[in-house]
Amino acid sequence: MSLPTLLMMVVAVALTPPLDADTGSRPDTGTMTLALASPKAWAFNTATVASPRGLSGRIELFGIGADGAATLLCVGSAGWAASIDMPFYADAGLRALTAEGHSADGQIARVTTRLPAGFAASAADEAATRLASRDFPSSQRGTMAAPSKAMVAVGSTDEVAVFAMSTLFTRRRNPGPLVALALWSLVAIAVPLVAVKRQHAPGVSRAAIVVASLLAASLLVANLSTPHPMLYSIGMRSPVAVAAEAEPRQLRYAPASIPGEGFGDVSWDAPEAARTGLRFVLADAVGTRGLPLDALQRYRRIRFKVPPVITMPDDGRALLVSGVYMAWGLDE
């Protein structure tokens, strides 16, 4: 290694701000503040990011784990406001939060706040213990249409979740586009043969094909572009009912579709199962703008297999970013 290169490395290291020894994050800069209101582990919480100089543009909220790794939790746009409330999902492993963005005068701003002692206590309370004891099914979602009713063996909570994934929470299918593409394929093969018989001018046929192609593509985009994010859930038998019976048995579950604003909600319940309490949840927002956070507000505590990132588009409605989310939730 040459001397100039070595000198450049030494200067770069000397100029790099040291990481905070407490949180492992980069040091604060600017006049940004971050306020939390009694955050709980395995729940959706709200952080208020503010600055006396005002905020502008994109604001990002990161969670800092015990290992110092930063995970993006929420992305919002301040829009020249003095403060912004940012919802975020708190995994039990979080130790601190960092907000990064710009103040209204264009200066970079960053602030890190350790989570209060109550957060660690919430990670060990009765609700958290109940959620932590559940496993996530590793089975894939079924591809057959879901039944209108189902007999579910309720000997084991985890078995109910596996059954739900394979049989009840199946992916919706829209056969329309596939039929349209099949017809399109047949037309592609038939048109040259018809054109030869009828002796159409090649230029006219080509123009017609291009116009038809654009029309078909536009119709497909229009038909497929408005899928609703879907939220599926299934209730578990209440602990009291389980304790009262000696042998596991089957319960007849039926779905109830509740149209939400911007999402579909399918809840599987049985008369003998508690409508509140522990529920296995699957959110499918693939190919959509995202699942509205409102859809999950009924769960005061919820443990995701993979913590979701929340975005706040300009219309102000917080969304879980597009994806598939598996969770155990307590609806109490």
d(CA 307, CA 294): 17
Shortest Å distance, C-beta 185 to other proteins? 4
**Interface with other proteins, residue 210, by CB under 8 A:** yes
Torsion of CA 109, 114, 116, 120, to 10 degrees: 140
Shortest Å distance, C-beta 224 to other proteins? 4
d(CA 104, CA 52): 9
**Interface with other proteins, residue 191, by CB under 8 A:** yes
**Interface with other proteins, residue 221, by CB under 8 A:** yes
**Interface with other proteins, residue 15, by CB under 8 A:** no
Q: Between vectors from CA 261 to CA 260 and to CA 267, what angle results, nearest 5°?
A: 15
**Interface with other proteins, residue 192, by CB under 8 A:** yes
d(CA 133, CA 124): 12
Residues forming beta bridges with residue 283, ordered by sequence position = 231, 325
Taking CB under 8 A as the rule, which mask of x and - marks residues 278-307 in contact with other proteins?
------x-xx--------------------
**Interface with other proteins, residue 244, by CB under 8 A:** no
User: Which residue in 1, 13, 193, 246 binds other proteins (CB under 8 A)?
Assistant: 193
d(CA 52, CA 33): 9
Sequence-distant (6+) residues with CB within 8 A of 235 are 267, 268, 269, 270, 273, 274, 275, 277, 278, 279
Shortest Å distance, C-beta 58 to other proteins? 17
**Interface with other proteins, residue 263, by CB under 8 A:** no
Question: Toward other proteins, which CB reaches closer, 153 or 211?
Answer: 211
* H or E element in which residue 230 lies: strand 230-235
Question: Toward other proteins, which CB reaches closer, 6 or 224?
Answer: 224
**Interface with other proteins, residue 205, by CB under 8 A:** yes
Question: Toward other proteins, which CB reaches closer, 75 or 191?
Answer: 191
Quick check: 110 and 135 in contact, CB under 8 A?
A: no
- Residues of this chain, 149-188, that bind other proteins according to CB under 8 A: 171, 173, 177-178, 180-182, 184-185, 188
Quick check: 235 and 273 in contact, CB under 8 A?
A: yes
Residues forming beta bridges with residue 202, ordered by sequence position = none
**Interface with other proteins, residue 313, by CB under 8 A:** no
Question: Toward other proteins, which CB reaches closer, 121 or 211?
Answer: 211
Q: Is 222 exposed, middle or buried (0-12, 13-18, 19+ CB in 10 A)?
A: exposed
Sequence-distant (6+) residues with CB within 8 A of 154 are 160, 236, 237, 248, 249, 250, 251, 273
**Interface with other proteins, residue 216, by CB under 8 A:** yes
Question: Toward other proteins, which CB reaches closer, 146 or 195?
Answer: 195
Taking CB under 8 A as the rule, which mask of x and - marks residues 121-140 in contact with other proteins?
-------------------x
**Binding stretches for other proteins (CB under 8 A):** 140-141, 143, 171, 173, 177-178, 180-182, 184-185, 188-193, 195-196, 200, 202, 205-206, 209-210, 212-214, 216-218, 220-221, 224-225, 284, 286-287, 322-324
